[in-house]
Amino acid sequence: MKKGVFDYILLETTGLADIGPIVRMFWLDGPLESSIYLDGVITVIDCYNIIHILDNVSDKKNNITIAHLQISHADVLIMNKTDLLNETQLGIITERVKGINSDAKMIFTTYSKIDEVSVILDLHAYDHQSVFPIESREISYHDPNITTATVQLKVLENEEQKSKLEHWIQLMLWEGQVLSGSSDQYLVEIYRLKGRVIVQNTSWLVQGVRELYEFIPESISLNSVSPKLIFIGKGLFQIPLQNALNTFMNFE
């Protein structure tokens, strides 16, 4: 290997309570034409102990654990120690984790062994090469603290509508407010955002981490995709969020 030349860097962050700041730091380097870009976030879950960990809340004010935060930022979840559980137990645990982040890809393992390294490398989870379409997954368990909510969009008619939608997103990311009308609002905290927005004949990927977000133009057949936004965070409820968006954007 040549000095200073790397094919891939795996940054192990065990013991770091909140990986959000690191995610933002590496993601910001992309537009600056850095030779390093953020490929994705991989979280290994101890399936045998995860429910106890999620229930052992020490932060009574926010009512969340470190595990909640780490799961919410993940693009891939390695569900480890599955050999210690029966099918029913694993099903319950899977739904519990999906209740926090239903958008992440799940890989079930023993001793964290995966069949192909390609399932955790070259994810391109934060750029235009990301694997889409965006999927909305049905879940039977909704975590009361952090969860995933998907809102359906319509094809926007012009840039003015796109700007209005961005303003709605900005209020959520920057102010923690979900606005539906001139004064109606409720509070949320967003950790991760992804989605697709279509303006006339142009498609945009939407990526966001905490208060940072961007719209990335993409070349794709519009016949095979539908516009939607996926939020992961606190205070999210599917139907009220969809209703707020419809009211704010005047969607019928």
DSSP character for 73? T
Average pLDDT over residues 40-61: 85
Per-residue pLDDT reduced to its tens digit, 217-231: 887 766 767 889 999
Which stretch of DSSP H or E encloses residue 26?
Answer: helix 20-29
pLDDT band per the 50, 70, 90 thresholds, residue 132: very low
Residue 7 clears pLDDT 90, i.e. is over it = no
Q: How far apart, in whole angstroms, are the C-alpha atoms of residue 148 and residue 231?
A: 6
Confidence of residue 103 (pLDDT cuts 50, 70, 90): confident
C-alpha 19: how far from chain center: 13
Helix or strand (DSSP H, E) at 87: helix 87-98
User: Residue 181's pLDDT is what?
Assistant: 65
Interatomic CA distance for residues 90 and 97, integer angstroms? 11
CA–CA separation, 47 and 50 (whole Å):
5
CA dist 120 and 40 (Å) reads 8
With a cut of 60, say whether residue 144 has pLDDT above it.
yes
Mean pLDDT throughout 223-243?
A: 87
Would you state the structure tokens that stand for residue 22, as one six-digit string? 């690191």
Range 144-158 average pLDDT: 87
Name the 3-class secondary structure at 104.
coil
Burial grade of 156 (CB within 10 A; 0-12, 13-18, 19 or more): buried
| Domains contained in the chain, CATH given | 20-119 (3.40.50.300), 146-249 (3.30.1220.10)
Q: Is the pLDDT of residue 102 over 70?
A: yes
CB 134 within 8 A of CB 149: no
Q: Evaluate if residue 20 carries a pLDDT over 80.
A: no
Q: Which of 70-79, 133-142, 178-187, 199-208 has the highest mean pLDDT?
A: 70-79
Task: Quote the pLDDT of residue 182.
Answer: 58
Report pLDDT digits (tens) over 187-199.
889 999 989 999 9
- In angstroms, the Cα distances linking 15 to 51, 70, 104 are 19, 11, 21
